[in-house]
C-alpha cells in the first residue's frame, strides 16, 4: 500500500488521454500531471533533446515524491526510456509495451497500422516489439507530424482536422489493416475524425487506455495501491501559460480544472 501520487507526464495535452483512463481504472489514486507545454512538440526533435527534456520532467515529478511515473508519451517511451530507465529507483512505465501487446491481440488479419510522431516512427519501437513476438504480422507505419499541433490548438473534430487526417492516412487506409495503433498519446483526441476516415472495420488502439490497464496490473502485482477510498486529488503543472491548458484540459477530461493548473520553470530540474 502506498498513498503517494502517481506522476504522469507528456509534452503537452496528449498525456491527459492516459490520465482520463487512469482516473477511470484507478479512481482512488492521486495523480500529479506535468505537460511540457513550453517545449511541445517533442516528436520532431532529436533523441538527445528528448532525453534531456525527459530527465527534467522525471526530476520534477520525483521532487513531488511520486511513487511511480507513467511516461504518457509515445516519443519519450520510444526514444528516451530505453536509455534512462535504469538511472532511477522509482518504477517508470512507458506506453509502448502494453499498446503493442493490445494491437497483437486485436488483429485478426495480421495487418496492423502504426501512426505516431516522426521520432516514434523512426525508432520502430512498436514495430520491433510486435515483430519479435510474431514475425508474420505485417506492419504499415506513418508519421503524422501535424496531429500534435492540431490537438494543442483544439482542433479535435474540425474540418481542418479532417483534411489533415485524410492527407496522412490515405496510404495507410489502402493497406487493408484491421487494427491501427494510435502511437502518440495526443491522437486519441482525434479519435472521432480518424475513426470516421478509417471506417468501423478498423479497430483503434489507444496508447493511454492500454497503459492505464498496465499500470493497474503493476500496482496489483507490487501492492502499490493507495489505501484511501474516494476523494483522489489531482494536480496539474505546465511549463507555459495555464489558460489554454485549463480550457482544453477541462473540455477533454469532462471536469473543470480551472484554477488547479500551476506554471513551473522546468529548466530548473
Catalytic residue numbers, as ranges? 73, 184
- In angstroms, the CA 204 to CA 79 distance is 23
208 binds ligand DGL (CB under 6 A): no
Least separation, in Å, of the C-beta of 152 and ligand DGL?
8
Please give the backbone phi and psi of residue 32, each rounded to the nearest 5 degrees, phi first: -115, 125
Segment 27 to 46, residues that bind ligand DGL, using CB under 6 A: 40-43
In the bound state with ligand DGL, the residue whose beta carbon lies nearer, of 11 and 107, is 11
Q: Cell numbers at residue 131, please?
A: 515483430
Select from 5, 6, 8, 14 the one that contacts ligand DGL (CB under 6 A).
14
Give the CA angle between residues 232, 36, 30 to the nearest 5°.
10
Binding mask 49-88 for ligand DGL (x = CB under 6 A): ------------------------xxx-------------
Residue least distant from ligand DGL (Cβ): 43
184 binds ligand DGL (CB under 6 A): yes
Q: Is the bond preceding 131 in cis, omega lying within 30 degrees of 0?
A: no
Least separation, in Å, of the C-beta of 16 and ligand DGL?
10
How many DSSP H helices and E strands does the chain contain? Answer: 12, 10
Query: Which residues fall within 8 angstroms of residue 109, CB to CB, at 6 or more apart?
Result: 176, 177, 178
Considering only the stretches 10-18, 26-34, 126-134, 226-234, report the one whose residues sit in contact with ligand DGL under the rule CB under 6 A. 10-18
Query: Residue 26: which of 212, 256, 162 has the closest Cα?
Result: 212
Least separation, in Å, of the C-beta of 11 and ligand DGL?
3
Query: Which residues fall within 8 angstroms of residue 2, CB to CB, at 6 or more apart?
Result: 67, 224, 225, 226
Which residues of this chain interact with ligand DGL, rule CB under 6 A?
A: 10-11, 14, 40-43, 73-75, 117, 120, 148, 184-186
Amino acid at each position: 500500500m502506498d498513498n503517494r501520487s502517481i506522476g504522469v507526464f507528456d509534452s503537452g495535452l496528449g498525456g491527459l488521454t492516459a490520465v482520463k483512463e487512469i482516473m477511470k481504472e484507478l479512481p482512488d489514486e492521486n495523480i500529479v500531471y506535468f505537460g511540457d507545454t513550453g517545449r511541445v512538440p517533442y516528436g520532431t526533435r532529436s533523441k538527445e533533446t528528448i532525453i534531456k527534456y525527459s530527465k527534467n520532467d522525471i526530476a520534477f515529478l520525483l521532487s513531488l515524491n511520486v511513487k511511480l511515473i507513467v511516461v504518457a508519451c509515445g516519443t519519450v517511451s520510444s526514444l528516451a526510456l530505453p536509455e534512462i530507465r535504469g538511472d532511477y529507483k522509482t518504477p517508470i512505465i512507458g506506453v509502448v509495451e502494453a499498446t503493442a501487446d493490445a494491437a497483437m491481440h486485436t488483429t485478426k488479419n495480421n495487418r496492423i497500422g502504426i501512426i505516431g510522431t516522426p521520432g516514434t516512427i523512426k525508432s520502430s519501437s512498436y514495430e520491433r516489439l510486435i515483430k519479435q513476438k510474431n514475425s508474420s504480422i505485417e506492419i504499415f507505419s506513418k508519421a503524422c507530424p501535424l496531429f500534435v499541433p492540431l490537438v494543442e490548438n483544439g482542433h479535435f473534430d474540425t474540418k481542418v482536422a479532417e483534411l489533415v487526417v485524410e492527407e496522412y492516412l490515405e496510404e495507410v487506409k489502402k493497406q487493408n489493416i484491421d487494427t491501427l495503433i494510435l502511437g502518440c498519446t495526443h491522437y486519441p483526441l482525434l479519435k472521432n475524425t480518424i475513426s470516421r476516415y478509417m471506417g468501423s472495420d478498423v479497430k483503434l488502439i489507444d496508447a493511454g487506455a492500454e497503459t492505464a490497464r498496465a499500470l493497474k496490473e503493476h500496482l496489483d502485482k507490487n501492492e502499490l495501491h493507495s489505501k484511501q477510498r474516494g476523494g483522489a486529488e489531482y494536480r496539474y503543472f505546465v511549463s507555459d501559460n495555464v489558460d489554454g491548458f485549463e480550457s482544453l484540459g477541462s473540455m477533454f477530461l469532462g471536469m473543470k480544472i480551472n484554477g488547479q493548473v500551476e506554471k513551473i520553470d522546468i529548466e530548473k530540474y
